[in-house]
Amino acid sequence: MYEGLSLAGKTAVITGGAGGIGQATAKLMAGRGARVAIADINLKGADAVAREIGDAAIAVNLDLADETSIKRAIVTIIQAFGRIDILHNNAAIAGEIVARDGSLHDLDTEVWDRVFAVNCRGTMMMTRECLPYLIEAKGSIINTVSGLGLQGHVRQTAYGSTKAALIQFTRTVATTYGAKGVRCNAVAPGLILTETTAKDFPAHWRKNVEDETPRGAVGEPEDIAEPVAFLASDAAKNITGQTIVSDGGVSIHVPGYAAYAKAVWG
């Protein structure tokens, strides 16, 4: 492994670490020498990941909608590890509320408020509470955003809006605290094949995304964990305020790409 990618001696906090992208990131960072705090509202799932990793990991209960829960989680992490070098703001709203996040004309205000409370307000509070430790460590923040924060869609109005807000939040934090030695970047996934998307995303819609993706396949959690771990490392010391898109190329091409590609390549 290239020495600059090593995370030895660093402590990483990963929100939403019980599954999907967060779980993959926790395992990768631990494999590169970091101690990892797996923070999730699903404490049982976080504990399972921590047990799989071993002594370098702890599970921490975290509800991003609850400021007290966030502060309590930070205390637990500092008591266990004594420092925070990396914050991966990965957790986002899940469950039934996501299914209700449709088009604006039938969007309930309750849904909008709930999605913003977790994705934006929660990420802001988590970052704020970790900030003194990150400044001390001259650390790195990586926010998981989304292609939906960069492109329009006919549904997930609230979710896409929160992710666009977090892209600007990334720039603001990077600008404000860069002189203190803190870097802040974002990674924007396309469709990622997690247990949830494999179960809930209809096969024909997945096929549509695959057809529009130059690499011909949707991403996997490890495809996001790699750029997150890179941005957390010293190899990325000159990168801050950026949003790295990892979507297999789905956002780079002209409309009708799939039909054109079929005509050219058969």
Interval 158-171 mean pLDDT: 98
- Distance CA(50)–CA(57), nearest Å, equals 5
- The pLDDT of residue 134: 98
- The pLDDT of residue 222: 97
Residue 110 CA to its chain's centroid (Å): 24
Interval 226-247 mean pLDDT: 98
- Structure tokens, 164: 């666009």
pTM metric for this prediction: 0.96
Instruction: Give the percent of the chain with pLDDT over 70.
Output: 100
Walk across the sheet containing 57-61 and list its strands.
57-61, 35-40, 11-15, 86-89, 140-144, 183-189, 243-246
Q: Are 12 and 88 in contact (CB under 8 A)?
A: yes
- The pLDDT of residue 23: 98
Interval 209-221 mean pLDDT: 93
Query: Which domains occur in the chain, in start order?
Result: 3-249 (3.40.50.720)
* Residues with catalytic function: 159
**Over the stretch 100-153, which tens digit does the pLDDT of each residue have?**
999 999 999 999 999 999 999 999 999 999 999 999 999 999 999 999 999 999
- Structure tokens, 162: 């929160």
